[in-house]
Amino acid sequence: MKQRIQEYAKRLKLSWTREHYHEIRATNNEEYLLRLLEREIQQRDERKTNLLLQQATLPKVAGTPFDWKDIKLGQGLTREYVLHGGFIENQENLIFYGGVGTGKTFLSSLISLHAIQQQGKKVKFYTVASLVNQLLDAHEKGSLSRLFKQIEKLDVVILDELGYIPLHKQGAELLFQVISMCYETKSMIITTNLQFGQWNHVFGDPILTEAVIDRLIHHSHLIVFSGESHRYRESLLQNK
């Protein structure tokens, strides 16, 4: 009997049941089935979350709590809305503007974790440099449409560190294509150390820059990270 149960469970892809069905204690059939299904669903959810986490390639999140003191959310925006993904439901974007070490990457990761674990969203974290490299590479190999399809499936795209390096013409154009693709269908979080007025230096072409900003501005919230660097603060503390 055991063998047949395992075989049927396998055919039905009930992997928890297959190994553990005999561990459930219940006083009647109904309760038994309920507990069994609960465990099966729980295991599937966990597996899905782990896969989403793997695919998101998030940077490691600091163990310390996030300090909101120097974060200026702007009118109508709440921490809850930002952290718990209200903006994702509304397909809005967040632009994080501020200096190095002020928590832009940290907050992007926290939001991503929440979106994956609580909302089951598909998230992908890219530095702008790594995405542009992947785009150029895919372009060269003729696999651009495959990469675009992968991006198309995402709910949230993080573009970290816009502005640290200027892009070459083709890289800028490909990045623009990604931003256009995400426009109004998914959420982006873009972190940058540059004001909009300086984005020209990144995209290298005023018309393209204007097109990028135009796509972003209507559905975005600007969040200003105005503190001094935590990295600096932490290394000072460590040296005491």
Ligand X SMILES: Nc1ncnc2c1ncn2[C@@H]1O[C@H](COP(=O)(O)OP(=O)(O)O)[C@@H](O)[C@H]1O
The answer to whether residue 109 forms part of the interface with Mg ion (CB under 5 A) is no
CA atoms within 13 A on the CB side of 16: 16
Instruction: Count interface residues toward Mg ion (CB under 5 A).
Output: 1
The answer to whether residue 105 forms part of the interface with Mg ion (CB under 5 A) is yes
The torsion of the CA quartet 28, 42, 79, 231, rounded to 10 degrees, works out to 140
The answer to whether residue 106 forms part of the interface with ligand X (CB under 6 A) is yes
Q: Please state the φ and ψ torsions of residue 133, each to the nearest 5 degrees.
A: -60, -45
Q: Which CB, 119 or 193, lies closer to ligand X?
A: 193
Judged by CB under 6 A, the stretch of 3-11, 49-57, 96-104, 215-223 that binds ligand X is: 96-104
- CB of residue 103 to ligand X, shortest distance in Å: 3
The single-letter DSSP state of residue 146 is: H
Among 17, 105, 192, 220, binds ligand X (CB under 6 A): 105
The answer to whether residue 127 forms part of the interface with ligand X (CB under 6 A) is no
Please name the residue ranges forming H helices in the chain: 2-11, 15-20, 29-56, 79-83, 86-89, 104-119, 128-141, 144-152, 169-182, 200-203, 206-217, 230-238
DSSP string for 55-66: HHTPPPPPSSPP
Binding map of ligand X across residues 208-237, x = CB under 6 A, - = no contact:
-----------------x----xx------
The answer to whether residue 186 forms part of the interface with ligand X (CB under 6 A) is no
Reading the block at residue 160, the tokens are: 């970290």
8 A C-beta contact, residue 157 and residue 91: no
Q: Which CB, 102 or 209, lies closer to ligand X?
A: 102
Binding stretches for ligand X (CB under 6 A):
62, 64, 66-67, 98, 100-106, 225, 230-231
